[in-house]
Chain A
Amino acid sequence: MEKTPPLSLERRLSQPAGKNVSRRPLPWGRWTMRSIALTYLTVMLIIPLLVILQDGLRAGLSGLWAQVSNPIAWHALKLTLWTAAVMTIINTGMGALTAYVLVRYEFPGKSLLNSVVDLPLSIPTLVTGVMLVVLFGPQQALGVWLKQKLGLSVIFAPPGIILALLFITFPFVVRAIQPVLMSLDRTQEDAAATLGANAWTIFRRITLPPLILPMASGALLSFARAIGEFGSIVIVAGNIPMYSQTAAVYVLGEVESENRLGASAVSVVMLAIAFCLMMIVDAFQRRSRSNLS
């Protein structure tokens, strides 16, 4: 239908830098569209976000801090952050490796692997939680074995949280790196090899540098996504305060027990973290796009 590359090139040639504004004969049409879009976004997005910000800061910053520094809330936030951090480290390493293997190697089952990468995006996270409980649950064979042989509990414990987060965020790093790796010009690597560099040096000095930015934005995206994750975690980790209760589960508890101050305060902290991370991701993605073109 649309022939993408020639059109965008044509557009770049014929339009003054960055301008993509159509001159419509009927400006009222554009005004209608603009006001519908802005009203919709205001009602759906901006008002809810502002309301929770206002509610969380009702008692001022010190009031917010008093709620957040309550030991149970503080533990929940800390648990959320450290499990997300552990997940991000593992996910970045394995995601980069998966992208590398998918782009550079030919092997049987490659296209299967490529579609499995996207699976977590389409599976509801609650279902992910159920899956992990069936596999590692305290009554299941594997769960019992891990507990007896290694003394390791997965379900209703932090390792389950990390596993659930790893499952959910697996596509983020892979899909951030893959297109950049595919677009790399391999003649530079060949040149380095000709000059006597070994495989590891080539990887470190030639292949890796352009991948750092997409890798970082994929990692931050998975971290941001993990901070708010609820469906899988409430199933996998349960709701044990000071042990396996994450921030999102804590907010649910406070909403149910009608502790509005506590719920709003922790929500605002989570929102602030998410907001900052998304801003950084956005900046990274824009920079890596401009690097590419």
Chain B
Amino acid sequence: MNLNTNKTTRPTPASNRWVRWLLIGAVALYVGVLILAPIVALVSGAFREGLGAALETLSQPEVLKAFWLTLQISAIVVAVHSVFGVIVAWVMVRDRFPGRKYINGLIDMPFAVSPVVVGYMLLLLFGRNGLFAPLLDALHIRVAFAVPGMILATLFVTLPFMVRELIPILENFGVQQEQAAATLGASGWQTFWRVTLPALRWGFIYGVTLTLARALGEFGAVLVIGGGIQGRTETATLYIYRALDERQYIGAYSAALVLGLISLLLVMGADWMRRKERNPA
């Protein structure tokens, strides 16, 4: 209904026509300078010495290792949030207990907490003089300046994505189907597995994509907790940071381009799937 009123072409007075093109032009200029120009600059920077040079830098063992570590951390983070994100979202929508509203508000906090502070919080917990240091020493587990700490940091940073994708779907899905299933004799878990989960499918896929894109690009938090030790805790973003520092510009630019492209394709793919899901025709 609303779409129709927006779509009706109304006669535009001549005086408004130039205002309209002025506004469109201003927006196009702004987006072009602010967003498109830097992207074009990065692409041309990465291929400054040709495609061969970019590919050669990218296939160095240290670069491949950094990307591999990023992939491993992201995969674990996605797996953890896939389980706990669904549970948290379900509890936030279907359960009632005192303080639920405050906890619901807290879930958004990672959006606004600085990644550096996230890494630092984990250092306070797991670092040399950290709260859990005695326990970790006794168990011979290293969290700070090691991969487990980087996984925790990425988990913190990506916590809202899955939950925030699922909550509105669960709210709209309502409880009728669940109650119907229960009436037909399904147990609580059967209802959850057979009725609730399938309804969440698309939100879940979108949540996974957003979590993955954010995890691949995480930098500040893994820098602080992981220390960026070359060959051990250096992820793709930390490699880019070091390459810039060491003036290996082709390496930094082409790795940044690859990382940006992967995230971009992921999110675009998910958008495309979502649109297809909404209008299957």
Interface residues, chain A, with chain B CB atoms under 8 Å away: 1-2, 4, 7-8, 10-11, 14-15, 20-26, 29-30, 33-34, 36-38, 40-41, 44-49, 51-52, 55, 94, 97-98, 100-101, 103-107, 109, 113, 115-128, 130-135, 140, 163, 166-167, 170, 182-187, 199, 221, 224-225, 227-231, 234-235, 247-249, 251-252, 255, 263-264, 267, 270-271, 274-275, 277-279, 282
Q: Which residues of B contact A37 (CB under 8 A)?
A: 84, 87-88, 90-92, 95
A98/B30 contact (C-beta < 8 A), A11-B176, A278-B111 known? yes
Q: Is the CB of A23 within 8 A of B35?
A: no
Pairs A-B, 4 closest by C-beta atoms = A124-B217, A228-B114, A131-B38, A274-B112
Q: Is the CB of B264 within 8 A of A123?
A: yes
Q: Is the CB of B95 within 8 A of A228?
A: no
B5 CB, nearest partner CB in chain A, Å: 5
Q: Is the interface of A mostly helix, strand, loop or mixed?
A: helix
A40/B176 contact (C-beta < 8 A), A48-B121, A235-B244, A274-B113 known? no
A94 partner, pick from B30, B119, B121, beta carbons under 8 A: B30
Within 8 A of A (CB), among B90-124: 90-97, 103, 105-124
With a 10 A CB-CB cut-off, give which of B9, B30, B44 has the most chain A CB atoms. B30
Q: How far is the CA of A182 from the CA of B188 in the complex (A)?
A: 40
CB<8 Å pairs between A and B, sample of 15? A26-B188, A41-B107, A46-B106, A103-B6, A130-B240, A130-B256, A134-B45, A167-B38, A228-B113, A230-B219, A248-B114, A252-B224, A255-B116, A267-B117, A279-B105
Q: Is the CB of A41 within 8 A of B35?
A: no
Interface residues, chain B, with chain A CB atoms under 8 Å away: 2-3, 5-6, 9, 16, 19-20, 23-24, 26-28, 30-31, 34-39, 41-42, 44-45, 84, 87-88, 90-97, 103, 105-125, 131, 152, 155-156, 159, 169, 171-176, 178-179, 182, 187-189, 191-192, 198-199, 201-202, 213, 216-220, 223-224, 237, 240-241, 244, 252-253, 256-257, 259-260, 263-264, 266-268, 271, 277
Q: Which residues of B contact A94 (CB under 8 A)?
A: 27, 30
Q: Report the nearest A residue to B3, measured CB to CB.
A: A182
A275 partner, pick from B6, B109, B237, B240, beta carbons under 8 A: B109
B115 partner, pick from A25, A230, A235, beta carbons under 8 A: A230
Q: How far is the CA of A55 from the CA of B88 in the complex (A)?
A: 28
B233 CB, nearest partner CB in chain A, Å: 15
Q: Is the CB of A228 within 8 A of B188?
A: no
With a 10 A CB-CB cut-off, give which of B44, B113, B122, B219 has the most chain A CB atoms. B113
Q: How far is the CA of A135 from the CA of B36 in the complex (A)?
A: 11
Q: Which residues of A contact B267 (CB under 8 A)?
A: 118, 121-122
Q: Is the CB of A113 within 8 A of B31?
A: yes
Q: Which residues of A contact B107 (CB under 8 A)?
A: 41, 45
Q: Is the CB of B182 within 8 A of A134?
A: no
Q: Is the CB of B220 within 8 A of A225?
A: no
B24 partner, pick from A4, A107, A125, beta carbons under 8 A: A107
